[in-house]
A and B are shown apart, each in its own frame.
Chain A
Amino acid sequence: MKTTIQEKDGNMVAILEGSLDTAAAPETEKAMSPLNDVEDKDVIIDCTNLEYVSSAGLRIFLGILQKVEEKGRHVYLKGINDKVRGILTITGFINIFEFK
């Protein structure tokens, strides 16, 4: 599992590649923590190459969402594939995230 943080077009972008399962979760969470401190910027999580996400991953997304929304900014998920979409749908997360 590989996590890359970038700034792009005035947004903070996190590029995720691989499978975000419970094992990879702690490491990924740590890597994405800068997103929590973002001010005056929206967050984009690029899931184009995200193969798989389990509930551990969703918890991370949720944590980020809560923090960012507190500051009045948006979190977007970008490029989710069908599998990820399926998981988001079942958990209802598809309703609380915005997509690009």
Chain B
Amino acid sequence: MKKSKLSRRITWRVIGIMSFFNVLIIGAILWFVFEVSLRNSDMRGQYVVDGIEGKIESLLWAVHVGAANNRDEIERNMESPEQVFDALEREITANQFMGCFAAFEPDYFKGQGRWFEAYVYQADSARYERQQIGSSSHDYFNGPWYQKGLSLERHGLGYLTVPYFDNSVDSAIYCSYVLPIVDREGRKVGVYGVDLEYLWLNEVIGEVEKIVKREFLDDEESLQDRDGTINFSVQIIDDKGNRILGSDSLDINILKAEQEEVFGNLGMKDLKGTPYYVNFKPIPFTDWTVAVIQHRDLVFAWGGVLAVVILFCMGIGCLVIFFFTTRSIRSATKPLGFLSESAQEVAKGNFDTPLPTFKHNDEVAQLRDSFGNMQESLVKYIEELKDTTAQKATIERDLRIASDIQMGMLPTMPPKSGSIDIYASLTPAKDVGGDLFDFYSRDEKLFFCIGDVSGKGVPASLFMAVTRSIFRTVSAHESMPERIVTTMNKTIADMNKTHMFVTLFVGVLDLPSGRLYYCNAGHDAPLLIGADSGARFLACQSPSAGVSELPCDNNIPVGFRPQWQYSLQEAQITTGTTIFLFTDGLTEAMDADKAQFQMERVNNVAAQALAQQQQEPRQLINLMTEAVHQFVGDAEQSDDLTMMAVQYIRQQRDVKMQKSIKLTNDTQEVPRLNAFVEEVCQAVGFDELVTTQVKVAVEEAVVNVMKYAYPTGHRGDVTIEAAANDVHLKFTITDSGKLFDPTVLPVVDTSLSAKERKIGGLGIHIMRQNMDSINYERMDNLNVLTLRKTINNNQ
């Protein structure tokens, strides 16, 4: 269910980011609400504080003006106590004060004693009373109001005392507004004061609170909760933090700490450790401060509600967004899921799977289109690949077959027999190669060749096949290697359009005599292993004892120049010698460092084989193969590797009988010949039938010589030698006439009718058929024809 993971992932990521920002926004809003609430309450507090302070201040100004006038009047009428009293009474009536007084310094008025405080008060609505209240029990000199009053500047503001309980006239609480009295000389001589009733100030406060309640609070809210918690309160405190006015449900001590710090400062402060906020304002004319206290709940009442509403709305909003986002994302990613399923089908191998269609032409649809293109390409490429693979398989199969054909063309290794032990190996570098070797026996001669077509692989292998078949065809009717090579060259050069060429070595070894005739066409010179080095060869290189190189003319490779005449060379091969032939795949075999095997190593292995008496062809080639493999190691084979070894063991058999007869070239001598042949055959033990066969063959051979060897009319000799060992009886027919090789005449086709038969070719056919082998040699200007008949099964 991968698709749902994607949509979930996206959804959660979107939600996560949104939530993060939501939290930030909410935080900001809450902070904002918090600040606004504070600001709001601050303003409210300030407003109230300002209001109260203003009201009191204006009140006190009025008082001050009246009091100051009063005091000035007193100063003008201070001659006697009566004057003072009169002045006081005059003023109080005018100003309608509750009471006023003038207290003088000690012993100011003579005859009055130490203390003199003139006090006039309103006894009731119409009447004022006078009283001197200074006495030892009312020692006013140390009273704070007196001290304070004296310290004031004559022309400055007065001072409103803290409420005090005065029971000198009646029991009530008063505040007094005092001013200094100064005489004409400028000396402070007393204190004038006006009484203000405390309760009246309290009323002011109460009024203010009501206003506040009316203007700022709901009907639901009140200044004080049911459980006694004060929500809103106005207090007036003195400089010591004691309450002067205000509801005493509030613990005034909470203001003390703050007051120390902020006395005189404006602005709402948080009372630490309490749930209250306070606005202070000092009241002039006094040491008082008015404080408006607001409970936290009051401050944040609205804010809290607002916050909750906002949070609720945002919560709802988030849920809605979450819901729609999830749906939207899921539906957007659904196409991916469908596409993925289709792709899975295609991957299974159902290339025809139709791809889903989509409403919108967005990236998913584009992906689908791309995938569709890939699908088509895939189908096409797979078809092409099938074709290519089938072709490749065909080619490989054909190559294998070609390799088999090529290997099949090579002669099988015969077991050691007669004079010859021969072994060869060919390893192409690729499936098929350009190296060739061939050998076969005909007429007691071993025809062999080794060659190397330029290049390797299929082209070289075709050329190799052609070369080999031409060798067989040409050597069937040419016995001398230089003629074989020259004819091959002409034939191949005429059809050589691709300019390939073959290096070739052709040898014809006469088995009875050990005489080697050879022709080299640009090929590596073979080695002679185990030969008597020295005298027999023309120029012998002997790198190691018993190992020498057969001297070769280089000529040119076959296939170049159609008119080239190749040279004939001869050598005598002593018995036991192994002729070792090879292609340059041996000397140029490369190891991983591209170093070559080289001729030196070949010589060394050959010498080693000879030393170990292992120069028999199979052993020798195995040793050489081993040495090359060790040298090359894991490196890839770079060229076709071909080796052939021919060991010659001259057959020496005990000659049991030897007879000869010499005739002239006159066919009338034939009866003599036949009598000779009969005699020899009987001596060997041939029966009549075999004897007849031999007679016919020998007669045929000798008659040929008589008729054709010498020019007409010219008398010549023909010698017939008969020799027998325990294997066969041989007749050697020798003449000194012109070169005539009967073995190269075409063999007669005995299936032709009489009319078509050419009688000339019959003779060689008879010879071959009746005898086990025929062998022609031109030696020392003599034609030497040898016919052999095996003895053992013919007796």
Q: List A residues at the B interface (Cβ < 8 Å).
A: 19, 21-25, 52, 54-56, 58-59, 62, 65-66, 69, 82-83, 86-87, 90-92, 95-96
CB–CB B692/A55 < 8 A: no
CB–CB B766/A23 < 8 A: no
In the complex, which residues of chain B have a beta carbon less than 8 angstroms from the beta carbon of A83? 688-689, 692
CB–CB A52/B692 < 8 A: yes
In the complex, which residues of chain B have a beta carbon less than 8 angstroms from the beta carbon of A96? 753-754
For the complex, give the distance between the alpha carbons of A52 and B287 in Å: 181
| 10 A-B pairs closest in CB distance | A92-B750, A23-B670, A83-B692, A90-B769, A22-B670, A22-B667, A54-B699, A22-B703, A21-B670, A23-B668
CB–CB A62/B700 < 8 A: no
In the complex, which residues of chain B have a beta carbon less than 8 angstroms from the beta carbon of A55? 696, 699-700, 703, 762-763, 766
For the complex, give the distance between the alpha carbons of A24 and B770 in Å: 21
B171 within 8 A of A: no
Total chain B interface residues with beta-carbon distance under 8 A: 28
In the complex, which residues of chain A have a beta carbon less than 8 angstroms from the beta carbon of B699? 21-22, 54-55
B683 within 8 A of A: no
CB–CB B689/A91 < 8 A: no
Taken residue by residue from 742 to 772, chain B's Cβ proximity to chain A (1 for < 8 Å, 0 otherwise) reads as: 0000000011011101010011011001100
> What is the CB-to-nearest-CB distance from B598 to chain A, in angstroms, rounded to a whole number?
55
> What is the CB-to-nearest-CB distance from B675 to chain A, in angstroms, rounded to a whole number?
10
For the complex, give the distance between the alpha carbons of A82 and B692 in Å: 10
Known contacts A23-B668, A52-B674, A52-B696, then 7 further A-B pairs from the complex at CB < 8 Å, ordered by chain A residue? A23-B667, A59-B759, A82-B688, A83-B692, A87-B696, A90-B693, A91-B750
For the complex, give the distance between the alpha carbons of A95 and B674 in Å: 27
In the complex, which residues of chain B have a beta carbon less than 8 angstroms from the beta carbon of A19? 671, 674
In the complex, which residues of chain B have a beta carbon less than 8 angstroms from the beta carbon of A22? 667, 670, 699, 703
Please name 29 pairs of A and B residues whose Cβ atoms are closer than 8 Å in the assembled complex, sorted by A.
Answer: A21-B670, A21-B674, A21-B699, A22-B667, A23-B668, A23-B669, A25-B667, A52-B695, A52-B696, A54-B695, A55-B696, A55-B762, A56-B703, A59-B759, A62-B754, A62-B759, A69-B754, A82-B688, A83-B692, A86-B689, A87-B766, A90-B693, A90-B769, A90-B770, A91-B765, A91-B769, A95-B750, A95-B751, A96-B754
Q: With A59-B759, A91-B750 given, is the CB distance from A54 to B696 under 8 Å?
A: yes
For the complex, give the distance between the alpha carbons of A58 and B695 in Å: 15
Compute the total of residue contacts between A and B using a CB distance below 8 Å.
72
For the complex, give the distance between the alpha carbons of A95 and B703 in Å: 26
In the complex, which residues of chain A have a beta carbon less than 8 angstroms from the beta carbon of B769? 90-91
Q: List B residues at the A interface (Cβ < 8 Å).
A: 667-671, 674, 688-689, 692-693, 695-696, 699-700, 703, 750-751, 753-755, 757, 759, 762-763, 765-766, 769-770
> What is the CB-to-nearest-CB distance from B587 to chain A, in angstroms, rounded to a whole number?
50
For the complex, give the distance between the alpha carbons of A65 and B674 in Å: 27
Q: With A54-B695, A83-B688 given, is the CB distance from A65 to B762 under 8 Å?
A: no
In the complex, which residues of chain B have a beta carbon less than 8 angstroms from the beta carbon of A24? 671
In the complex, which residues of chain B have a beta carbon less than 8 angstroms from the beta carbon of A95? 750-751
CB–CB A62/B766 < 8 A: no
In chain A, what residue has the closest Cβ to B757?
Answer: A62
For the complex, give the distance between the alpha carbons of A66 and B699 in Å: 25
In chain B, what residue has the closest Cβ to A84?
Answer: B692
CB–CB B689/A82 < 8 A: yes
In the complex, which residues of chain B have a beta carbon less than 8 angstroms from the beta carbon of A65? 754
Q: With A55-B696, A55-B763 given, is the CB distance from A21 to B750 under 8 Å?
A: no
In the complex, which residues of chain A have a beta carbon less than 8 angstroms from the beta carbon of B670? 21-23
CB–CB B671/A23 < 8 A: yes
> What is the CB-to-nearest-CB distance from A84 to chain B, in angstroms, rounded to a whole number?
8
CB–CB A66/B754 < 8 A: yes
> What is the CB-to-nearest-CB distance from B455 to chain A, in angstroms, rounded to a whole number?
46
Chain A CB count within 10 A is highest, among B674, B696, B699, B763, for: B696
For the complex, give the distance between the alpha carbons of A58 and B688 in Å: 20
Chain A CB count within 10 A is highest, among B688, B692, B695, for: B692
For the complex, give the distance between the alpha carbons of A59 and B754 in Å: 10
In chain A, what residue has the closest Cβ to B765?
Answer: A91
For the complex, give the distance between the alpha carbons of A35 and B751 in Å: 26
> What is the CB-to-nearest-CB distance from B697 to chain A, in angstroms, rounded to a whole number?
9
In the complex, which residues of chain A have a beta carbon less than 8 angstroms from the beta carbon of B667? 22-23, 25
Chain B CB count within 10 A is highest, among A24, A55, A56, A59, for: A55
Q: With A22-B699, A83-B688 given, is the CB distance from A92 to B763 under 8 Å?
A: no
For the complex, give the distance between the alpha carbons of A96 and B759 in Å: 14
For the complex, give the distance between the alpha carbons of A86 and B696 in Å: 11
In the complex, which residues of chain A have a beta carbon less than 8 angstroms from the beta carbon of B688? 82-83
In chain A, what residue has the closest Cβ to B692?
Answer: A83
> What is the CB-to-nearest-CB distance from B98 to chain A, in angstroms, rounded to a whole number?
182
For the complex, give the distance between the alpha carbons of A82 and B671 in Å: 21
For the complex, give the distance between the alpha carbons of A52 and B669 in Å: 16
> What is the CB-to-nearest-CB distance from A80 to chain B, in angstroms, rounded to a whole number?
12
For the complex, give the distance between the alpha carbons of A58 and B770 in Å: 16
In the complex, which residues of chain B have a beta carbon less than 8 angstroms from the beta carbon of A91? 750, 762, 765-766, 769
CB–CB B751/A92 < 8 A: yes
In the complex, which residues of chain B have a beta carbon less than 8 angstroms from the beta carbon of A21? 670-671, 674, 699
In the complex, which residues of chain B have a beta carbon less than 8 angstroms from the beta carbon of A62? 754, 757, 759
> What is the CB-to-nearest-CB distance from B137 to chain A, in angstroms, rounded to a whole number?
190
For the complex, give the distance between the alpha carbons of A87 and B757 in Å: 16
In the complex, which residues of chain A have a beta carbon less than 8 angstroms from the beta carbon of B689? 82-83, 86
> What is the CB-to-nearest-CB distance from A12 to chain B, in angstroms, rounded to a whole number?
19
> What is the CB-to-nearest-CB distance from A55 to chain B, in angstroms, rounded to a whole number?
5
Q: With A21-B674, A22-B670, A56-B703 given, is the CB distance from A87 to B750 under 8 Å?
A: no
> What is the CB-to-nearest-CB distance from A54 to chain B, in angstroms, rounded to a whole number?
5
> What is the CB-to-nearest-CB distance from B445 to chain A, in angstroms, rounded to a whole number?
23
In the complex, which residues of chain B have a beta carbon less than 8 angstroms from the beta carbon of A23? 667-671
- Determine which of B671, B693, B763 lies in contact with A86 in the assembled complex, contact meaning CB atoms within 8 Å: B693
For the complex, give the distance between the alpha carbons of A21 and B695 in Å: 10
In the complex, which residues of chain B have a beta carbon less than 8 angstroms from the beta carbon of A54? 695-696, 699-700, 703
